[in-house]
């Protein structure tokens, strides 16, 4: 996603009938989603408090206690909800995308737990620590889990085009507007729906214009009016020679009190948040970008985690590996394993291991099928490849053919998470940018795996690989591994 700087949100009714109607529907949808979250949070917290009481005391009322738990329990739920509200866990800026929502929910719960513990100690209130500990543990986990489930439902609705999303007016030069529109639409679940564009006066025509399928609704001189006319709740400003610092500051003033957020999208893209630090210098919000990390302590930890997890997985999956090997042997003539030369970190070649999923003379048949290639770029992909065996189609659908690559991970040739391991013929045609994929070890899975696999275009696959190379982290690796299970179960893009 494009990096953005957000202003203080404010609201205003739209001036044009169409804009007012659509903008109102968007706000109603957003409020409905927030109300749903409040109801879910209330249910989770009520269950957590009941679970804490039942686990600590059972069905009996605690004897000898002066604490009226029948009042303490609902009071704790109410204070917990107030804490979530106070720490802006229902702010529409953080709902539906990014990790900030989970951090705020967890932080509000932990702060309240700490506050209750300190208050109980200071005022010598004898509320059961077991009751509080179980309630806060169950409640915190439950809040994060329900927020995750609600977010997934919202993402599915957004991808269908009927979920709550921000209505965005994109402002800037034509080329930069088109680039930002493409970036936002690449991830519709993020919730930024582009509804119009404003471009410089010199580029306006006397007839209605469209940039791709985005209507041009005004020039850079009438941005607030254009936003109100189409019911936009967000103005996204990208690069433009006409939008000087003074004019951009004045635009912020014009949007004050109108209910429209201001988002500034710098030209810097595909850089993750942890590498970006905004520091005010002489009144300028300078964005400092840290260099990617390709060595050091974190790399050592990643290496240790990779090899340890690979060894454990091989031990646990040995029976499954034996069954698959037998099935491959019985299905068609040829070896069980297929060893293919791939290029790893630093351009070093190694033999990647897979269960054989094609006939033994697959390479010789490739020349006859090149004209039927279904992907662009340097890879060959064919949905109904006649070279794939019967058991091979099943193994590819569930990615079981890649289990032997755990041996490559154990040997240090691959990582659990990383870019797709390329063929030497692909690497020979790399340009300078694409070659950055070789700065890290290739992975058994990666962003390409959880984002569509073979359904991705060559350009999108490269973009995801480069994003990983530049922004990898242990937390991101765990997230990708978790998402891999879902991608494998759905079988999307597996052929």
How far is the CA of 380 from the CAs of 154, 374, 387, 453, in angstroms?
A: 35, 7, 13, 13
Bridge partners, 337 (sequence order) = 355
Q: How far apart are CA 478 and CA 58, in angstroms?
A: 38
Selection from 33, 36, 48 nearest residue 142 by Cα: 48
| Residues 186 and 95 occupy one common structural domain | no
Dump pLDDT digits (tens) for 199-244: 998 788 888 899 988 999 999 999 999 999 999 999 999 988 888 8
| Residues 78 and 132 occupy one common structural domain | yes
| Residue pair 171/243 in contact by the 8 Å Cβ criterion | yes
Stretch 383-394: mean pLDDT, rounded?
83
Count: domains in the chain: 3
Selection from 316, 303, 341 nearest residue 417 by Cα: 303
| Residues 241 and 139 occupy one common structural domain | no
| Residues 308 and 170 occupy one common structural domain | no
Looking up tokens 């519709």, which residue turns up?
188
Please indicate, yes or no, if residue 386 is contained in any of the structural domains: yes
Q: How far apart are CA 481 and CA 202, in angstroms?
A: 49
Select from 257, 288, 319 the last residue of a domain.
288
The SS3 call for residue 289 is strand
| Residue pair 396/493 in contact by the 8 Å Cβ criterion | no
Please indicate, yes or no, if residue 445 is contained in any of the structural domains: yes
Instruction: Report percent pLDDT > 90 for the chain.
Output: 42
Burial of 427 (0-12, 13-18, 19+ CB in 10 A): middle
CB atoms closer than 10 angstroms to residue 112: 21
| Residue pair 13/225 in contact by the 8 Å Cβ criterion | no
Select from 140, 160, 180 the last residue of a domain.
160
Please indicate, yes or no, if residue 474 is contained in any of the structural domains: yes
| Residues 150 and 171 occupy one common structural domain | no
Select from 101, 130, 160 the last residue of a domain.
160
**Alpha helices, DSSP H only, in 290-361?**
297-316, 318-331
Looking up tokens 């569930």, which residue turns up?
398
Dump pLDDT digits (tens) for 84-118: 999 999 998 889 888 889 999 999 999 999 999 99
Please indicate, yes or no, if residue 2 is contained in any of the structural domains: no
Please indicate, yes or no, if residue 275 is contained in any of the structural domains: no
Asked if pLDDT for residue 197 goes beyond 90, the answer is yes
| Residues 155 and 195 occupy one common structural domain | no
Please indicate, yes or no, if residue 144 is contained in any of the structural domains: yes
| Residues 344 and 467 occupy one common structural domain | yes
Please indicate, yes or no, if residue 1 is contained in any of the structural domains: no
| Residues 177 and 151 occupy one common structural domain | no
Tell me whether strands 443-445 and 284-289 are parallel, antiparallel or unpaired. Answer: unpaired
Looking up tokens 């977010």, which residue turns up?
151
Q: What is the pLDDT of residue 70?
A: 83
Q: What is the pLDDT of residue 169?
A: 96
| Residues 68 and 148 occupy one common structural domain | yes
Four-point Cα dihedral 59, 64, 70, 75, nearest 10 = -130
Dump pLDDT digits (tens) for 257-313: 888 999 988 766 666 666 776 777 666 677 777 777 777 888 899 999 999 999 999
Give the sheet arrangement for strand 261-264, strand by strand.
5-6, 261-264, 234-237, 166-171, 192-199, 214-219, 210-211
Predicted TM-score (pTM) of the model is: 0.71
**Confidence band of 404 (pLDDT split at 50, 70, 90):** very high
| Residue pair 447/477 in contact by the 8 Å Cβ criterion | no
Dump pLDDT digits (tens) for 18-70: 455 565 677 788 889 999 999 999 999 999 999 998 888 876 655 555 677 78
Q: How far apart are CA 414 and CA 342, in angstroms?
A: 10
| Residues 237 and 346 occupy one common structural domain | no
Instruction: Report percent pLDDT > 70 for the chain.
Output: 84
Axis-axis angle for helices 69-86, 17-57 (nearest 10): 140
Please indicate, yes or no, if residue 460 is contained in any of the structural domains: yes
Where residue 317 falls (left for φ over 0; alpha for ψ -120 to 50; beta otherwise) is: alpha
| Residue pair 78/103 in contact by the 8 Å Cβ criterion | no
Domain that holds residue 76: 24-160
Alpha carbon distance, N-terminus to C-terminus of the chain: 28
| Residues 393 and 416 occupy one common structural domain | yes
| Residue pair 136/109 in contact by the 8 Å Cβ criterion | yes
Burial of 326 (0-12, 13-18, 19+ CB in 10 A): exposed
| Residues 117 and 182 occupy one common structural domain | no
Q: How far apart are CA 188 and CA 383, in angstroms?
A: 26
Bridge partners, 196 (sequence order) = 169
Q: What is the CATH number of the domain that holds 207?
A: 3.40.50
Q: How far apart are CA 215 and CA 16, in angstroms?
A: 15
């Amino acid at each position: 996603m494009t990096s953005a700087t957000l202003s203080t949100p404010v609201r205003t009714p739209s001036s044009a009938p169409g804009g007012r109607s659509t903008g109102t529907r968007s706000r109603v949808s957003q409020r409905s989603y927030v109300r749903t979250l409040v109801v879910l949070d209330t249910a989770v917290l009520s269950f957590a408090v009941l679970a804490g009481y039942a686990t600590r005391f059972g069905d009996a009322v605690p004897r000898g206690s002066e604490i009226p738990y029948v009042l303490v329990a609902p009071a704790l739920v109410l204070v917990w909800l107030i804490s979530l509200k106070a720490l802006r866990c229902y702010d529409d800026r953080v709902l539906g995308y990014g990790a900030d929502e989970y951090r705020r929910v967890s932080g509000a719960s932990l702060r309240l737990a700490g506050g209750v513990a300190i208050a109980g100690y200071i005022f010598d209130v004898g509320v059961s620590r077991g009751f509080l500990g179980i309630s806060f543990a169950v409640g915190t986990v439950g809040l994060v889990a329900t927020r995750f489930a609600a977010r997934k439902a919202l993402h599915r609705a957004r991808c269908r085009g009927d979920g709550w999303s921000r209505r965005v007016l994109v402002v800037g030069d034509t080329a930069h507007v088109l680039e930002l529109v493409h970036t936002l639409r690449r991830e519709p679940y993020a919730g930024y729906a582009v509804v119009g564009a404003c471009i410089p006066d010199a580029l306006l025509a006397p007839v209605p214009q469209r940039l791709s399928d985005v209507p041009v609704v005004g020039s850079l001189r009438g941005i607030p009016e254009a936003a109100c006319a189409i019911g936009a709740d967000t103005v996204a400003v990208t690069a433009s020679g006409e939008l000087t610092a003074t004019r951009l500051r004045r635009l912020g003033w014009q949007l004050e009190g109108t209910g429209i957020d201001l988002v500034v999208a710098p030209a810097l893209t595909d850089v993750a948040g942890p590498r970006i630090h905004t520091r005010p210098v002489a009144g300028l919000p300078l964005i400092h970008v840290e260099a990617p990390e390709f060595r050091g302590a974190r790399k050592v930890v990643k290496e240790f985690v990779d090899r340890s997890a690979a060894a454990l997985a091989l031990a646990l999956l040995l029976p499954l590996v034996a069954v698959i090997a037998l099935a491959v042997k019985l299905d068609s003539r040829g070896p069980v394993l297929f060893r293919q030369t791939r290029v790893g970190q630093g351009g070093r070649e190694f033999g990647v291991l897979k269960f054989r999923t094609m006939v033994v003379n697959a390479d010789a048949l490739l020349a006859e099928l090149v004209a039927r290639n279904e992907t662009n770029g340097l890879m060959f992909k064919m949905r109904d490849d006649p070279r794939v065996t019967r058991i091979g189609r099943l193994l590819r659908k569930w990615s079981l053919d890649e289990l032997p690559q755990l041996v490559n991970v154990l040997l240090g040739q691959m990582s659990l998470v990383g870019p797709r391991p390329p063929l030497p013929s692909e690497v020979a045609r790399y340009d300078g940018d694409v070659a950055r994929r070789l700065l890290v070890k290739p992975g058994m899975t990666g962003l390409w795996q959880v984002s569509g696999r073979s359904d991705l275009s060559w350009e999108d696959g490269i973009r995801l690989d480069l994003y990983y190379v530049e922004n990898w982290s242990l937390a991101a690796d765990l997230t990708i591994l978790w998402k891999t299970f879902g991608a494998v179960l759905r079988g999307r893009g597996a052929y």
